[in-house]
Structure 1
Amino acid sequence: MTDPLSKRRLKTWIRLLGVTRSAENHLREFLRVNHDTTLPRFDVMAALWRRRDGVTMSELSRMLLVSNGNATAVVDRLEKDGLAKRTQSATDRRTVYVALTEEGLRVFEGQAADHEGEVNALFGKLSEADLDALTEILRRAAEKGETT
């Protein structure tokens, strides 16, 4: 017996993907045009901003759900631009920490404020009640292994 809501759930999934992709593409272009940066670079800077004391490259990769190679390439460019710095661990020569520089913090905070404003504009048609309902719906959708 098929679930009568199966097709509607599939359509909802496709709509969620469409909204996500559209917003992501818009934000990629916004960051490129307004800040001469990329979304992956913004994401790395955001992760480093949240962990001011620095993180290992492995931790950074896990936080971003990307390969070490991808994270390293972005960090290399940030370091070259003076926005991030690597520091070797005092206790283990193989461990290197990466953190934003003061300039990196300043640059990111400007980007983050503009990014937040752009996300606010993108979803500006949603009321407080809409946001509360959507948050609850997405929370329930994210629950694993439970059936309704």
Structure 2
Amino acid sequence: MNQDESSSKQRLRLWLSLLRTTRSTEAELREFLRVEHDTTLPRFDVMAALYRVPQGLTMTELSRYLLVSNGNVTTVVDRLVLDGIAKREQQANDRRSLRVSLTEQGSAQFTQIASAHEAKVNQLFADFSSEDIEELLQLLKVHAHKETPHEKHGRA
């Protein structure tokens, strides 16, 4: 096997390892949120996005932020509104567009869940030293800044 083939196989192993790690970690977090907080990962993700932007987001902004379809976001937001966690408000400058934000109850609930979520993530990655984490972050940062063919054509 020549150097190019060896590097190619190594990159394939890297991809599979990253995918396996991501999937197993996500499965752990989904189960944790379900069992310990009676919530779902998509619901947590929507709440996190809205928490980071207190003035709220339009449904389009929210779906772009989360990299999911408007339909997926609408289903989660509908439930959050029904549960008193989020609210929808018409924008003064565009009556067709709604802005979604967390209610006081939603902010308080998110703060509590986010703290527990952070502790769980900390536990899941406890085997990594600060130096290991910084090195991994730097390596991933280099890769993340490469523009993919989909991004070049506006499809990502």
Give secondary structure in 1 for the equivalent of 2:94: coil
- Counterpart amino acid of 2:113? Q
SS at match of 2:36: helix
- Paired AA for residue 40 in structure 2: T
Alignment-mate amino acid for residue 84 of structure 1 = A
> Please, which of 21, 24, 29 is the counterpart of residue 23 of structure 2?
21
For normalisation by structure 2, the TM-score amounts to 0.90
Match of 2:80 in 1: 78
- Counterpart amino acid of 1:135? L
Q: Unpaired segments of 5 or more residues in structure 1? A: none
1:35-75 Cα distance to aligned partner (Å, 9 max, x none): 00000000000000000001101100100111111101100
User: How many angstroms apart in 2 are the aligned matches of 1:136 and 1:84?
Assistant: 36
TM-score, structure 1 as length reference: 0.94
> What residue is the counterpart of 1:142 in the other structure?
144
Q: Take 2:62 and 2:146, find their aligned partners in 1: how far apart are those partners?
A: 25
SS of residue paired to 2:95: coil
Aligned pair count reads 145
Partner of 2:151: none
1:108-119 paired onto structure 2 within 5 Å:
108-119=110-121
Identity of aligned residues (%): 57
In the aligned structure 1, how far is the partner of 2:145 from the partner of 2:10? Answer: 19
Deviation (angstroms), 1:139: 1.4
For 2:138 and 2:91, the matched residues in 1 are separated by: 42
Runs of at least 5 residues in structure 2 that lack an aligned partner in the other structure: 148-156
Q: How far is the alpha carbon of 1:128 from its aligned partner?
A: 0.9
**After TM superposition, which residue ranges in structure 1, 4 or more long, deviate above 3 angstroms?**
none
| 1:2, distance to aligned residue in structure 2 (A) | 6.4
Distance in 2 (alpha carbons) for counterparts of 1:141 and 1:66: 22
CA distance in 2 between counterparts of 1:95 and 1:129 reads: 45
